Amino acid sequence: MNFIEEIVEKDLQEGLNDGRIQTRFPPEPNGYLHIGHVKAICMDFGIAEKYNGICNLRFDDTNPVKEDVEYVDSITNDIAWLGFRWGKIFYASDYFDRLYDLAIRFIKEGKAYVDEQTAEEIAAQKGTPTQAGQNSPYRDRPIEENLRLFQAMQNGEIEEGKMVLRAKIDMANPNMHFRDPIIYRIITSHPHHRTGKRWNVYPMYDFAHGQSDYFEGVTHSICTLEFVVHRPLYDWFIDQFVPQGEYRPHQYEFNRLNITYTVMSKRKMLQLVKEGLVAGWDDPRMPTVCGLRRRGYTAQAIRSFIDKIGYTKVEGMIDVGLLEHTVRECLKETAPRVCAIFDPVKLIITNYPEGQIENITAENIDGKPEVGTRQMPFGKELWIEREDFRQEGDKNFYRLSPMGREVRLKNAYIIQATGCEQDAEGNITTVYATYDPTSKSGTEGGNRKTKATINWVECTTAIDAQARLYDRLFAVENPSADERDFRELLNPDSLKVTTCKVESALSNAKMQDHFQFLKQGYFVVDDDSTKEQLIFNRTASLKDNWLKK
Ligand code: ATP
Ligand code: MG
């Protein structure tokens, strides 16, 4: 049980809010969801699921400059893909009328004023945590004038940036957020993606968030630790219009997710996308939900990772090795093992009948018949990995060499190499071998042990596929802590495009199908894949150093 669940259980025991549990997930639709958001999603939806409550989805759409329906759609899609179900979908913009009325009420009660200073002037008066700020010269303007000017702001009579509405609290408060925070600003340059041009003034986060929680009946408003310092202000606003003892939402905070070798900020991700440094929000190197999905991460793997890291009240950095370990752990259970040859050399089995193709039935995962079987065509000419043959074998090399060792072809027969052919440069072009017809896997002779098993694909039925070998996006562990620009820290080897020859059974592979390419890694069918050109993305290599650590 995490510490938020403990709070919820205590609240339930005490009968708070008549036992009602309501959370929300409040993304700003200004980018795609990343795995950091998933940590918040698992918390918000998880609490609701566990305690018979409701989690609503609320788009925090108070800044039309950066927001768009494209983001709204991707966010709902990603949450559903992760397997969570929201109660209702709300938008902060649903409350623009109520928030505006509340701002008017604040003005009438002498708790808000229109400031005409520039952003720089206001910032210069803020003071420091140990030094009080200065009052704005507009702080004590008459209520009537504030009402008139705020109305003028909304009517579009005032230019963007020329005036703001500020709460009148305390310029000397040790909490800087209390020093007359801006609660409304003018935005006329961009229409809102839902309310169009209806509004010329928009509420700031601090004024919109807690109030929206209250309007919806949220009981536990859970967010990340950077909002701890905002919490007193969150409560202050509620105190101004909700009598003590009545229902009110409460804010709780947990630690953000940060992962090594990546960035966890929509702003930086947007930059990578806009500047073409990645192929898009769903580039398989991106830590976005759609990027991870395209990389071959399953929803189960991502959720299992979030479970593993847990929730605390201290910021930290998670080793990306744990994320990679988790996806291997999940795919290991379900991904069919198939052959894909990356550096092919031809193997000819001289004593196999010319023109004959036999179908071998192979288990998708050895010893797990429930994962199914497939047909592997076998014939006289096969592709094998170049490194599986050595002309100069030695006693420590157990694969093919003319030394005469027996080697098993995965799921098929035992062979012995007899020789090879080279081109003018000395590159091996063909390997020759003989097979033992009585040694077929799955028959009695199939039990005969060899020191090595190698992978193969039958030549006439092999499919040429593209493989995109992805690696970590950044070359340094913590790009955000580096003094250099994060864009200079990208890993130049984060993508290698290559080809491979895969089994014919993969001709039916569909987008998002997962495989383990034997000895190579976990791969997924890319969204760009077609019947004519199969494309596989490497999700993760097979080597896992995590458990050793
Ligand atoms: P970013 O800094 O990437 O722009 P954000 O916090 O501005 O993220 P929002 O859309 O406002 O993005 O976030 C929605 C919710 O997701 C918030 O409750 C926020 O606390 C949470 N969240 C965002 N990033 C993380 C993270 N790295 N770890 C955990 N929760 C996060
Ligand atoms: Mg935010």
> Catalytic annotation on 266?
yes
pLDDT in tens, 476-508: 999 999 999 999 999 999 999 999 999 999 999
Would you tell me the crossing angle of helices 3-13 and 35-50 to the nearest 10 degrees? 30
Residue 299 token pair: 């929803």
Binding site membership of 40 for ligand 1 (Cβ less than 6 Å)? yes
Domain annotation for the chain: domains and CATH numbers: 3-254 (3.40.50.620), 266-336+465-548 (2.40.240.10), 340-455 (2.40.240.10)
Q: Catalytic pick from 166, 168, 194, 266?
A: 266
Binding site membership of 257 for ligand 1 (Cβ less than 6 Å)? yes
Q: Report how far ligand 2's centroid is from the alpha carbon of 27 (Å).
A: 7
Strands of the 112-115 sheet, one edge to the other: 112-115, 164-167, 182-186, 201-203
> Catalytic annotation on 28?
yes
3-state secondary structure of 308: helix
Q: What is the pLDDT of residue 547?
A: 74
Q: Catalytic pick from 5, 20, 28, 66?
A: 28
Gap between the Cα atoms of 299 and 287, Å rounded: 13
Q: Do 216 and 20 contact (CB within 8 A), yes or no?
A: no
Q: How many residues would you count in the chain? A: 549
Q: What is the pLDDT of residue 296?
A: 98
Q: Whose C-alpha lies nearest to ligand 1, atom 27?
A: 36
Q: What is the pLDDT of residue 394?
A: 87
Cα dihedral angle (409, 414, 416, 422), rounded to 10 degrees? -20
pTM here is 0.95
Task: Name, in order, each residue with C-beta under 8 angstroms of 492's C-beta and a sequence gap of 6 or more.
Answer: 475
Residue 315 token pair: 């910021």
Binding site membership of 268 for ligand 1 (Cβ less than 6 Å)? no
Q: What is the pLDDT of residue 393?
A: 81
Binding site membership of 41 for ligand 1 (Cβ less than 6 Å)? no
Report the greatest alpha carbon distance in the chain: 102
Q: What is the pLDDT of residue 545?
A: 79
Q: Whose C-alpha lies nearest to ligand 1, atom 17?
A: 223
Q: HSE-up of 302 (CA within 13 Å, CB side)? A: 31
Question: Taking the CB of residue 540, how many other CB atoms lie within 10 A of it?
Answer: 22
Q: What is the pLDDT of residue 363?
A: 96
Single out the residue of 381, 367, 372, 351 nearest to residue 462, CA to CA.
381
Cα dihedral angle (78, 79, 85, 86), rounded to 10 degrees? -120
Residue ranges of the chain with per-residue pLDDT less than 50: none
Residue 61 token pair: 């759409």
Cα dihedral angle (485, 487, 489, 492), rounded to 10 degrees? -160
Binding site membership of 39 for ligand 1 (Cβ less than 6 Å)? yes
Index of the ligand 1 atom closest to the CA of residue 26: 14
pLDDT in tens, 289-338: 999 999 999 999 999 999 999 999 999 999 999 999 999 999 999 999 99
Q: What are phi and psi of 423, to 5 degrees?
A: -90, -175
Gap between the Cα atoms of 421 and 433, Å rounded: 12
Q: Whose C-alpha lies nearest to ligand 1, atom 29?
A: 256
Cα–Cα distances in Å, from 522 out to 150, 371, 458, 516?
Answer: 59, 16, 21, 4
Index of the ligand 1 atom closest to the CA of residue 30: 10
Binding site membership of 111 for ligand 1 (Cβ less than 6 Å)? no
Q: What is the 3-state secondary structure (H, E, C) of 332-376?
A: HHHCCEECEECCEEEEEECCCCCCCCEEEEEECCCCCHHHCEEEE
Gap between the Cα atoms of 169 and 166, Å rounded: 9
Q: Catalytic pick from 66, 256, 390, 519?
A: 256
Paired residues of 407 in beta bridges: 415
Q: Do 40 and 33 contact (CB within 8 A), yes or no?
A: no
Gap between the Cα atoms of 138 and 136, Å rounded: 5
Q: What is the pLDDT of residue 544?
A: 84
